Amino acid sequence: MTKVKPKKPRIRILLGDAVSLGPGKIELIDAIEKTGSISSAAKSMNMSYRRAWNLVDSINHDFTDQIVVTSSGGKGGGGAVVTDMGLKIIERYRQIETKALKGVMQDLEEFGHYLSLKSSKSE
């Protein structure tokens, strides 16, 4: 049997009915922080502007404080800024992800053997 290194799992945080936060939303917030724009962040992720805008809107509604603050376009153009709370959310999510992965890495490696057998047959 070939030893297959499992792919890094994706951690999604579900808290009640409101908050569902996973790697996609975290990547979007991070891209907005880097680009200063929802549009540019969306393009960098091969995502439609509408989808990115809807995700930002849902993120802002799920938390007690705004995560991304937007300004309208115009002569100088619009933009988006990730708030201090948004930066904390990114940092905290990554801490949770690291802890979770450390806790289950051996199990994931063993589980990966089962998955690799199935995926290698379908390729």
In a domain, 69, yes or no: yes
Tokens of 24: 């996609």
pLDDT of residue 3: 53
pLDDT cut 90: percent of the chain above it = 51
In a domain, 13, yes or no: no
pLDDT at 74 over 70: no
The count of domains in the chain is 1
In a domain, 115, yes or no: yes
In a domain, 32, yes or no: yes
In a domain, 1, yes or no: no
In a domain, 4, yes or no: no
Q: Taking a C-beta distance cutoff of 8 angstroms, is the pair 22, 12 a contact?
A: yes
Tens-place pLDDT, residues 5-21: 556 778 888 887 766 88
Cα torsion 59, 97, 27, 108 to 10°: value is -120
Q: Taking a C-beta distance cutoff of 8 angstroms, is the pair 9, 108 a contact?
A: yes
In a domain, 70, yes or no: yes
CATH classification of the domain holding 95: 1.10.10.10
Residue 85 burial (C-beta neighbours within 10 Å; 0-12, 13-18, 19+)? middle
In a domain, 57, yes or no: yes
Its domain, for residue 112, covers 19-122
pLDDT at 36 over 90: yes
4 residue type, one letter: V
